[in-house]
Amino acid sequence: MTAVRTSAETTAGTAVLRLGTRASVLARTQSQTVADAITAATGTPVELVHITTEGDRSQAAIAQLGGTGVFVTALRDALLAGEIDLAVHSYKDLPTAPAPGLILAAVPPREDPRDALVARDGLTLGELPAGSTVGTGAPRRVAQLRALGLGLEVVPIRGNVDTRLGRVAGSATGPGDLDAVVLARAGLSRLGRLDVITETLDPLQVLPAPAQGALAVECRTSDARTRELLGRLEDSRTRACALAERTTLATLEAGCSAPVAAYAEVAEGEHGPELFLRASVTAIDGSDGVRGSLSGALDQASALGRALAEDLLDRGAVELMAVTG
Protein backbone atom coordinates (compact mmCIF):
# COMPACT_ATOMS: atom_id res chain seq x y z
CA MET A 1 0.00 0.00 0.00
CA THR A 2 1.40 3.39 -0.98
CA ALA A 3 -0.02 6.65 0.38
CA VAL A 4 0.87 10.02 -1.13
CA ARG A 5 -0.58 13.31 0.13
CA THR A 6 -1.81 15.82 -2.45
CA SER A 7 -1.21 18.81 -0.18
CA ALA A 8 1.21 19.85 2.54
CA GLU A 9 1.01 18.08 5.90
CA THR A 10 -1.53 19.78 8.10
CA THR A 11 -0.56 21.34 11.39
CA ALA A 12 -1.47 19.70 14.67
CA GLY A 13 -5.01 20.40 15.77
CA THR A 14 -6.32 21.36 12.32
CA ALA A 15 -9.63 19.61 11.70
CA VAL A 16 -8.82 18.55 8.15
CA LEU A 17 -10.35 15.30 6.92
CA ARG A 18 -7.99 12.98 5.03
CA LEU A 19 -9.81 11.31 2.16
CA GLY A 20 -8.19 8.19 0.70
CA THR A 21 -8.56 7.65 -3.02
CA ARG A 22 -7.12 5.56 -5.79
CA ALA A 23 -4.84 7.60 -8.05
CA SER A 24 -6.74 7.06 -11.32
CA VAL A 25 -8.28 10.14 -12.93
CA LEU A 26 -11.81 8.80 -12.41
CA ALA A 27 -11.21 7.88 -8.76
CA ARG A 28 -9.64 11.27 -8.04
CA THR A 29 -12.52 13.04 -9.78
CA GLN A 30 -15.10 11.10 -7.76
CA SER A 31 -13.21 11.71 -4.54
CA GLN A 32 -12.80 15.42 -5.22
CA THR A 33 -16.55 15.68 -5.85
CA VAL A 34 -17.20 14.15 -2.42
CA ALA A 35 -14.51 16.33 -0.81
CA ASP A 36 -16.11 19.46 -2.25
CA ALA A 37 -19.55 18.33 -1.09
CA ILE A 38 -18.28 17.76 2.46
CA THR A 39 -16.72 21.21 2.57
CA ALA A 40 -19.84 22.83 1.11
CA ALA A 41 -22.13 21.07 3.58
CA THR A 42 -20.00 21.34 6.72
CA GLY A 43 -17.26 23.90 6.18
CA THR A 44 -14.67 21.21 6.93
CA PRO A 45 -11.55 21.20 4.72
CA VAL A 46 -10.65 17.90 3.04
CA GLU A 47 -7.36 16.75 1.54
CA LEU A 48 -6.91 13.81 -0.83
CA VAL A 49 -4.44 11.04 -0.02
CA HIS A 50 -3.55 8.76 -2.93
CA ILE A 51 -3.55 5.03 -2.19
CA THR A 52 -2.17 2.52 -4.72
CA THR A 53 -4.19 -0.71 -4.84
CA GLU A 54 -3.43 -4.15 -6.28
CA GLY A 55 -5.99 -3.52 -9.02
CA ASP A 56 -4.06 -0.40 -10.10
CA ARG A 57 -0.71 -2.20 -10.22
CA SER A 58 -1.83 -5.18 -12.31
CA GLN A 59 -3.04 -5.40 -15.89
CA ALA A 60 -4.56 -8.85 -15.32
CA ALA A 61 -8.30 -9.33 -15.71
CA ILE A 62 -10.30 -8.45 -12.60
CA ALA A 63 -11.52 -12.05 -12.23
CA GLN A 64 -7.89 -13.27 -12.23
CA LEU A 65 -7.03 -10.80 -9.46
CA GLY A 66 -9.75 -12.18 -7.22
CA GLY A 67 -12.70 -10.10 -8.42
CA THR A 68 -14.59 -8.23 -5.72
CA GLY A 69 -12.49 -5.99 -3.51
CA VAL A 70 -9.40 -5.72 -5.69
CA PHE A 71 -9.66 -1.90 -5.66
CA VAL A 72 -10.91 -1.71 -2.08
CA THR A 73 -8.60 -3.58 0.30
CA ALA A 74 -5.73 -1.07 0.38
CA LEU A 75 -8.12 1.81 1.07
CA ARG A 76 -9.74 -0.09 3.91
CA ASP A 77 -6.36 -1.02 5.36
CA ALA A 78 -5.37 2.66 5.37
CA LEU A 79 -8.63 3.55 7.13
CA LEU A 80 -8.17 0.94 9.84
CA ALA A 81 -4.55 2.02 10.33
CA GLY A 82 -5.65 5.62 10.90
CA GLU A 83 -3.72 6.90 7.88
CA ILE A 84 -6.91 8.39 6.40
CA ASP A 85 -10.29 9.38 7.84
CA LEU A 86 -12.57 8.33 5.01
CA ALA A 87 -12.50 6.58 1.66
CA VAL A 88 -14.61 6.94 -1.47
CA HIS A 89 -15.40 3.83 -3.49
CA SER A 90 -17.40 3.08 -6.59
CA TYR A 91 -20.17 1.30 -4.69
CA LYS A 92 -20.29 -1.57 -7.19
CA ASP A 93 -16.64 -2.42 -6.35
CA LEU A 94 -17.34 -3.10 -2.66
CA PRO A 95 -17.59 -6.68 -1.39
CA THR A 96 -21.11 -7.39 -0.18
CA ALA A 97 -19.92 -8.51 3.28
CA PRO A 98 -19.41 -5.70 5.84
CA ALA A 99 -15.86 -4.80 6.89
CA PRO A 100 -15.28 -5.06 10.67
CA GLY A 101 -14.48 -1.67 12.16
CA LEU A 102 -15.79 0.28 9.17
CA ILE A 103 -19.18 1.76 8.33
CA LEU A 104 -20.79 2.97 5.14
CA ALA A 105 -21.41 6.48 6.46
CA ALA A 106 -22.91 8.04 3.33
CA VAL A 107 -24.34 7.14 -0.06
CA PRO A 108 -24.57 10.40 -2.03
CA PRO A 109 -27.07 10.93 -4.89
CA ARG A 110 -26.50 8.51 -7.76
CA GLU A 111 -25.40 9.24 -11.31
CA ASP A 112 -27.25 7.64 -14.23
CA PRO A 113 -26.49 3.91 -13.69
CA ARG A 114 -26.91 2.77 -17.29
CA ASP A 115 -24.16 1.44 -19.56
CA ALA A 116 -22.94 3.47 -22.53
CA LEU A 117 -21.65 2.47 -25.95
CA VAL A 118 -18.82 4.34 -27.61
CA ALA A 119 -18.56 3.12 -31.20
CA ARG A 120 -16.71 4.11 -34.34
CA ASP A 121 -18.49 6.32 -36.85
CA GLY A 122 -21.20 7.21 -34.31
CA LEU A 123 -22.85 3.79 -34.61
CA THR A 124 -25.43 2.39 -32.18
CA LEU A 125 -25.35 -1.18 -30.92
CA GLY A 126 -27.91 -2.32 -33.49
CA GLU A 127 -25.99 -0.64 -36.31
CA LEU A 128 -22.69 -2.42 -35.63
CA PRO A 129 -22.15 -5.07 -38.34
CA ALA A 130 -21.94 -8.72 -37.32
CA GLY A 131 -18.37 -9.58 -36.40
CA SER A 132 -17.63 -6.15 -34.94
CA THR A 133 -15.31 -6.26 -31.93
CA VAL A 134 -16.70 -4.75 -28.73
CA GLY A 135 -14.50 -4.38 -25.65
CA THR A 136 -15.60 -4.43 -22.01
CA GLY A 137 -14.05 -5.35 -18.69
CA ALA A 138 -17.21 -6.78 -17.08
CA PRO A 139 -18.36 -10.41 -17.42
CA ARG A 140 -21.91 -9.11 -16.84
CA ARG A 141 -21.68 -6.99 -20.00
CA VAL A 142 -19.96 -9.76 -21.96
CA ALA A 143 -22.78 -12.18 -21.14
CA GLN A 144 -25.61 -9.77 -21.89
CA LEU A 145 -24.08 -8.49 -25.14
CA ARG A 146 -23.60 -12.05 -26.36
CA ALA A 147 -27.17 -12.90 -25.36
CA LEU A 148 -28.52 -10.19 -27.68
CA GLY A 149 -27.60 -12.41 -30.63
CA LEU A 150 -26.14 -9.59 -32.73
CA GLY A 151 -23.11 -11.59 -33.86
CA LEU A 152 -20.66 -9.29 -32.10
CA GLU A 153 -17.21 -10.42 -30.97
CA VAL A 154 -17.07 -9.33 -27.33
CA VAL A 155 -13.53 -9.18 -25.92
CA PRO A 156 -12.24 -8.47 -22.37
CA ILE A 157 -10.24 -5.26 -21.86
CA ARG A 158 -8.55 -3.43 -18.97
CA GLY A 159 -7.27 0.09 -18.53
CA ASN A 160 -8.53 3.53 -17.57
CA VAL A 161 -11.27 5.36 -19.45
CA ASP A 162 -8.93 7.14 -21.87
CA THR A 163 -7.10 3.89 -22.66
CA ARG A 164 -10.39 2.17 -23.48
CA LEU A 165 -11.67 5.04 -25.57
CA GLY A 166 -8.36 5.14 -27.44
CA ARG A 167 -8.88 1.56 -28.58
CA VAL A 168 -11.84 2.81 -30.62
CA ALA A 169 -10.72 6.28 -31.65
CA GLY A 170 -7.07 5.43 -32.20
CA SER A 171 -4.08 7.59 -31.31
CA ALA A 172 -0.99 9.18 -32.80
CA THR A 173 0.61 5.73 -32.98
CA GLY A 174 -2.13 4.15 -35.07
CA PRO A 175 -5.82 3.38 -35.55
CA GLY A 176 -7.98 1.79 -32.88
CA ASP A 177 -8.22 -1.99 -32.73
CA LEU A 178 -11.85 -2.16 -31.55
CA ASP A 179 -15.13 -1.15 -33.17
CA ALA A 180 -16.69 -0.16 -29.85
CA VAL A 181 -16.37 -0.26 -26.08
CA VAL A 182 -19.02 -0.38 -23.36
CA LEU A 183 -18.44 1.59 -20.16
CA ALA A 184 -20.48 2.92 -17.27
CA ARG A 185 -22.20 6.16 -18.28
CA ALA A 186 -21.64 7.49 -14.75
CA GLY A 187 -17.87 7.47 -15.13
CA LEU A 188 -18.02 9.30 -18.43
CA SER A 189 -20.37 11.85 -16.88
CA ARG A 190 -18.07 12.51 -13.92
CA LEU A 191 -15.15 13.00 -16.32
CA GLY A 192 -17.14 15.37 -18.55
CA ARG A 193 -16.96 12.94 -21.50
CA LEU A 194 -20.64 12.38 -22.30
CA ASP A 195 -19.99 13.71 -25.81
CA VAL A 196 -18.21 10.48 -26.81
CA ILE A 197 -21.27 8.29 -26.16
CA THR A 198 -22.94 7.00 -29.32
CA GLU A 199 -25.75 5.21 -27.44
CA THR A 200 -26.89 4.95 -23.83
CA LEU A 201 -28.02 1.34 -23.50
CA ASP A 202 -31.58 0.65 -22.41
CA PRO A 203 -31.71 -1.61 -19.31
CA LEU A 204 -34.04 -3.85 -21.34
CA GLN A 205 -30.97 -4.64 -23.46
CA VAL A 206 -28.16 -4.48 -20.90
CA LEU A 207 -29.14 -4.32 -17.23
CA PRO A 208 -26.62 -2.40 -15.07
CA ALA A 209 -24.39 -3.82 -12.35
CA PRO A 210 -25.67 -3.70 -8.75
CA ALA A 211 -25.02 -0.17 -7.37
CA GLN A 212 -23.54 1.08 -10.65
CA GLY A 213 -23.39 4.88 -10.70
CA ALA A 214 -23.45 5.14 -6.89
CA LEU A 215 -20.60 6.12 -4.59
CA ALA A 216 -19.94 4.66 -1.14
CA VAL A 217 -18.22 6.77 1.51
CA GLU A 218 -16.66 4.75 4.36
CA CYS A 219 -15.10 5.72 7.66
CA ARG A 220 -14.19 4.02 10.94
CA THR A 221 -17.19 2.96 13.03
CA SER A 222 -15.57 4.51 16.09
CA ASP A 223 -15.07 7.93 14.44
CA ALA A 224 -18.23 9.75 15.57
CA ARG A 225 -17.17 13.15 14.23
CA THR A 226 -16.51 11.93 10.69
CA ARG A 227 -19.68 9.84 10.70
CA GLU A 228 -21.74 12.89 11.60
CA LEU A 229 -20.13 15.04 8.91
CA LEU A 230 -20.53 12.41 6.20
CA GLY A 231 -24.14 11.78 7.15
CA ARG A 232 -25.00 15.15 5.63
CA LEU A 233 -24.23 13.76 2.16
CA GLU A 234 -26.70 10.88 2.51
CA ASP A 235 -29.38 10.27 -0.13
CA SER A 236 -31.86 7.77 1.32
CA ARG A 237 -33.39 6.78 -2.04
CA THR A 238 -30.00 6.00 -3.56
CA ARG A 239 -29.08 3.91 -0.52
CA ALA A 240 -32.37 1.98 -0.71
CA CYS A 241 -31.87 1.23 -4.42
CA ALA A 242 -28.26 0.15 -3.93
CA LEU A 243 -29.18 -1.96 -0.91
CA ALA A 244 -31.86 -3.84 -2.85
CA GLU A 245 -29.50 -4.44 -5.77
CA ARG A 246 -26.57 -5.55 -3.64
CA THR A 247 -28.72 -7.79 -1.45
CA THR A 248 -29.70 -9.57 -4.65
CA LEU A 249 -26.01 -10.00 -5.44
CA ALA A 250 -25.16 -11.20 -1.93
CA THR A 251 -28.03 -13.70 -1.80
CA LEU A 252 -26.82 -15.14 -5.10
CA GLU A 253 -23.39 -15.43 -3.40
CA ALA A 254 -21.85 -13.69 -6.37
CA GLY A 255 -19.29 -10.91 -6.67
CA CYS A 256 -18.71 -8.02 -9.05
CA SER A 257 -16.96 -10.36 -11.51
CA ALA A 258 -20.07 -12.57 -11.87
CA PRO A 259 -22.57 -12.12 -14.76
CA VAL A 260 -25.20 -10.69 -12.38
CA ALA A 261 -27.15 -7.50 -13.01
CA ALA A 262 -29.60 -5.64 -10.78
CA TYR A 263 -31.28 -2.26 -11.06
CA ALA A 264 -33.75 -0.62 -8.68
CA GLU A 265 -35.74 2.56 -9.30
CA VAL A 266 -38.00 4.59 -7.05
CA ALA A 267 -41.50 5.08 -8.43
CA GLU A 268 -44.73 6.43 -7.03
CA GLY A 269 -47.02 3.62 -5.87
CA GLU A 270 -50.55 3.62 -4.49
CA HIS A 271 -49.28 4.29 -0.97
CA GLY A 272 -46.30 6.52 -1.75
CA PRO A 273 -42.76 5.90 -3.07
CA GLU A 274 -41.80 2.28 -3.70
CA LEU A 275 -38.90 0.35 -5.16
CA PHE A 276 -39.11 -1.41 -8.50
CA LEU A 277 -36.25 -3.94 -8.68
CA ARG A 278 -35.09 -5.89 -11.72
CA ALA A 279 -32.30 -8.47 -11.80
CA SER A 280 -30.79 -11.03 -14.15
CA VAL A 281 -28.21 -13.78 -14.33
CA THR A 282 -26.84 -14.58 -17.80
CA ALA A 283 -24.56 -17.40 -18.90
CA ILE A 284 -21.19 -15.92 -19.90
CA ASP A 285 -21.53 -17.37 -23.40
CA GLY A 286 -24.92 -15.72 -23.78
CA SER A 287 -26.69 -19.02 -24.34
CA ASP A 288 -29.29 -18.63 -21.59
CA GLY A 289 -30.39 -16.35 -18.77
CA VAL A 290 -33.03 -15.67 -16.16
CA ARG A 291 -34.65 -12.32 -15.37
CA GLY A 292 -37.15 -11.20 -12.80
CA SER A 293 -38.64 -8.18 -11.08
CA LEU A 294 -40.38 -7.27 -7.82
CA SER A 295 -41.66 -4.10 -6.20
CA GLY A 296 -42.12 -3.07 -2.59
CA ALA A 297 -41.70 -0.37 0.04
CA LEU A 298 -38.39 1.51 0.34
CA ASP A 299 -37.85 0.22 3.87
CA GLN A 300 -38.10 -3.35 2.57
CA ALA A 301 -35.10 -3.01 0.24
CA SER A 302 -33.15 -5.92 1.72
CA ALA A 303 -36.18 -8.24 1.77
CA LEU A 304 -36.94 -7.32 -1.82
CA GLY A 305 -33.40 -8.15 -2.94
CA ARG A 306 -33.42 -11.49 -1.12
CA ALA A 307 -36.80 -12.48 -2.53
CA LEU A 308 -35.81 -11.69 -6.11
CA ALA A 309 -32.49 -13.52 -5.77
CA GLU A 310 -34.26 -16.59 -4.37
CA ASP A 311 -36.61 -16.54 -7.35
CA LEU A 312 -33.62 -16.46 -9.73
CA LEU A 313 -31.96 -19.29 -7.80
CA ASP A 314 -35.10 -21.39 -8.10
CA ARG A 315 -34.94 -20.84 -11.85
CA GLY A 316 -31.35 -22.03 -12.30
CA ALA A 317 -29.13 -19.00 -11.59
CA VAL A 318 -26.34 -21.08 -10.02
CA GLU A 319 -26.01 -23.27 -13.08
CA LEU A 320 -25.89 -20.22 -15.34
CA MET A 321 -23.12 -18.59 -13.31
CA ALA A 322 -21.06 -21.77 -13.70
CA VAL A 323 -21.11 -21.59 -17.53
CA THR A 324 -17.75 -20.62 -19.06
CA GLY A 325 -17.06 -19.28 -22.49
Identify whether residues 8 and 140 lie together within a single domain. no
Q: Are 227 and 218 in contact (CB under 8 A)?
A: no
Instruction: Indicate whether 56 pLDDT > 70.
Output: no
Q: Determine the average pLDDT of the residues in 123-134.
A: 97
- Percent of the chain with pLDDT strictly greater than 70: 89
Identify whether residues 164 and 309 lie together within a single domain. no
Q: Determine the average pLDDT of the residues in 189-214.
A: 96
pLDDT for position 259: 93
Identify whether residues 94 and 222 lie together within a single domain. yes
| Residue 309, domain CATH | 3.30.160.40
Instruction: Indicate whether 10 pLDDT > 50.
Output: no
pLDDT for position 65: 42
Average pLDDT, the chain: 89
pLDDT for position 53: 63
Confidence of residue 67 (pLDDT cuts 50, 70, 90): very low
Q: Are 230 and 219 in contact (CB under 8 A)?
A: yes
Q: Is residue 205 in a domain?
A: no
Identify whether residues 6 and 100 lie together within a single domain. yes
Greater pLDDT, 55 or 122:
122
pLDDT tens-digit series, residues 230-263 = 999 999 999 999 999 999 999 998 776 789 999 9
Identify whether residues 123 and 100 lie together within a single domain. no
DSSP output for 251-300: HTT--TTSSEEEEEEEEEETTEEEEEEEEEEE-TTSS-EEEEEEEEEGGG
Q: Is residue 206 in a domain?
A: no
Instruction: Indicate whether 1 pLDDT > 70.
Output: no
Q: Is residue 166 in a domain?
A: yes
Identify whether residues 227 and 252 lie together within a single domain. no
pLDDT tens-digit series, residues 145-187 = 999 999 999 999 988 899 999 999 887 667 889 999 999 999 9
Write out the catalytic residue numbers: 93
How does 246-275 read in b/e, with b if 16+ C-beta sit within 10 Å?
Answer: bbbbbbbebbbbbbbbbbbeeeeeeeeebb
pLDDT for position 269: 80
pTM, full prediction: 0.88
Closest CA to 233 of 21, 71, 31: 31
Identify whether residues 134 and 92 lie together within a single domain. no
Instruction: Indicate whether 141 pLDDT > 80.
Output: yes
Instruction: Indicate whether 70 pLDDT > 70.
Output: no
Closest CA to 240 of 296, 167, 176: 296
Greater pLDDT, 283 or 58:
283
* DSSP strand pairing (133-136 vs 180-184): parallel
Q: Name the domain count of the chain.
A: 3
Identify whether residues 19 and 82 lie together within a single domain. yes
Identify whether residues 21 and 84 lie together within a single domain. yes
Identify whether residues 99 and 225 lie together within a single domain. yes
Identify whether residues 148 and 226 lie together within a single domain. no
| Residue 156, domain CATH | 3.40.190.10
pLDDT for position 135: 97
pLDDT for position 194: 97
Greater pLDDT, 268 or 317:
317
C-alpha to C-alpha distance for 266 and 274, rounded to whole angstroms: 6
C-alpha to C-alpha distance for 143 and 235, rounded to whole angstroms: 31
Instruction: Indicate whether 197 pLDDT > 70.
Output: yes
- Residue range(s) defining the domain that contains residue 277: 239-321
